[in-house]
Amino acid sequence: MITWFKDGKAIAKRYVWEIVMAAHDIFIKEESLVDVEIPEGVTCDVIGDVHGQFYDVLHLYKLTGPPSEKHFVLMNGDLVDRGSWSIEVILLAFAYKWLYPEYMYINRGNHEAKDMNRTYGFEGEAKHKHGEQAYKLFAHVFTTMPLATLLSASKPPSSKNAAILSPDGRRRFFIVHGGLFSKDGVTLDDIRKLDRVGRQPGQEGLMCELLWTDPQEMPGRGPSKRGVGIAFGPDVTKSWCTLNGVTGVIRSHEVRQNGYEIEHDGLCTTVFSAPNYVDQSGNKGAFIRIDAEGNREYTQFDAVPHPPMKPMAYLQGGLSSLMMM
């Protein structure tokens, strides 16, 4: 399938439906917060936004390696929109999820949503390549995707430091596309119990905030530059991590020129995996590798050439100026 896609070909519609329905049957059994433990001798790579940049995703998978028994992959939302190969990206990710459900994990992003897909290209691309019914199927399956992942080390850390640990002394990371909340006291169980299936993120509430919020340098909470969600400060992050025994929050949702940025006194890390975003940002991409002790390693990479197709080619009017969404 990868070779077929690289050659600019589309797979038959019946295969598209089979892959998407297979992913659906796995997602629907997962909770809104998925618990993943990294066994000894295993690593897990956390990948941020890739936004339909298929050729960069292929390069990224060469760096990470495919999902396997010794190597987990966690994609942290915004697989689609903007880039004009969103179908290829999402089908590849869903195929890996079908093949390796215990090694491949995918969180929902704010772009796995109907209103964003209409505005930023995925709806037009899906209909152009595989028809309206295929788009409707994708739109529903997006609502079954988990909202966050709790990634736990299986071994206590060998280096003793001041990190916040789980109740049993292990590092664990809350992986979510957007970030934290407009109110204090939200627990991991509150997130687990969210009823997500068939629902869009909306403009408020926990699901919206999980997919839309951003960190800010100032303490406390502030308005979002996006007009949706909020901005949360380092004190909010520390309080939430302490309450829930979480070593750190890993989130995506924003371009970082170096591909990643460690913020909030090390408790919040942003990772973004679409290099030279929409062919004009000039940023690096990055991913984070986490081992069985919860140690983190950061890898940066540059964009690779792709066929001559502009971002959002399937959207009438072309590239939107609303870059921050």
Could you list the active site residues? 111
Distances (CA, A) of 323 to 40, 81, 86, 318, 320: 41, 12, 17, 13, 7
Residues 6+ apart with CB under 8 A from 166: 152, 172, 245, 246, 247
Handedness of CA 95, 101, 103, 105 (dihedral sign): positive
DSSP, residue by residue, 162-191: S----TTS--EEEEESS---SSS---HHHH
Q: Considering all CA atoms of the chain, what is the largest pairwise distance in Å, rounded to the nearest integer?
A: 55
Handedness of CA 255, 258, 260, 263 (dihedral sign): negative
Neighbouring CB atoms inside 10 A of 34's CB total: 20
Instruction: Check if the beta carbon of residue 210 is closer than 8 Å to that of residue 147.
Output: yes
The two tokens of residue 80 are 């689609």
Distance CA 223, CA 100 (A): 40
Helix axis angle, 122-130 to 86-99, nearest 10°: 80
Pairing of β 230-232 and β 221-223: antiparallel
Where residue 225 falls (left for φ over 0; alpha for ψ -120 to 50; beta otherwise) is alpha
